Structure 1
Amino acid sequence: MSEVLVGIDPRELSVPALVWAADEAVRRASRLRLVVAVPPVHDRPRHGAVAHQSSLRIRAESALVNAEDLVRELHEGLWTATDLADGGPPPPCCSTGHGVPHSPWWAHGASAGSPKSSARAR
């Protein structure tokens, strides 16, 4: 099944982008995948980094729930999936070394480091 992927910013939900992505998924008869990447925390002592990382994950989870709720209100029955990935996105321009561009993890809709992933058909 093909997917329409939309990145969610936990600091501020972009409603127009989310509405567009949901509409596009409906037009394409595709699943809508909502993704949030929680960046690593390196600028704090260990105890502070753990607490800050936990806070970022809670905010990211909340953003995914809010985005999924909005999509559900817009398009009841749209199949959605959510991913909460640890780590920032990879550099935008990668190569496998064989002249073939490397597809970032979000192009496939999953990450090996993604501790939380769910899919729901509504």
Structure 2
Amino acid sequence: MTDPEHDPRWAAVRAAGRRRVPTPPGLVERVLRSLDGERSAEPLQLPSDGGTLSVSEPAFVLLARTVADTEAAAVPGLRVSAVALADSRLQVLATVRYGVVADEAADALRERITAELTRQLGAQSPVVDVHVVDVHPD
């Protein structure tokens, strides 16, 4: 494989990187709350066949991070950067290797995480959003 920095198609990646992406409403406040250690006192409520599973946010995020890292290893060219719970949705930030189709990799990871969380919890997983936030050359 040639060095992606010398590939003429890399110009499209640089151009996309220069485009300003608006900050989602409330993101800064949520990040600052998480840095202060402020967590929702309310447990996450997940529907299951036997009723409702209650799980604390820190425990769920820890499990989700472990699952995301494990499942990302099965998606070639994809790495997990961060995992957080926001508005009862699991937010996964990922990077892809240059040349990997980002949408396909994100969809594959989303499906794998959702299935594995549902299996491990025995309850319906929250909605999983996978955001490709960067491209790496190797």
TM-score range, shorter chain: 0.3 to 0.5
Structure with greater proportional strand content: 2
Which structure has more relative contact order (CA 8 Å, sep 6+)? It is 1
The alignment's TM-score, normalised by the length of structure 1, stands at 0.34
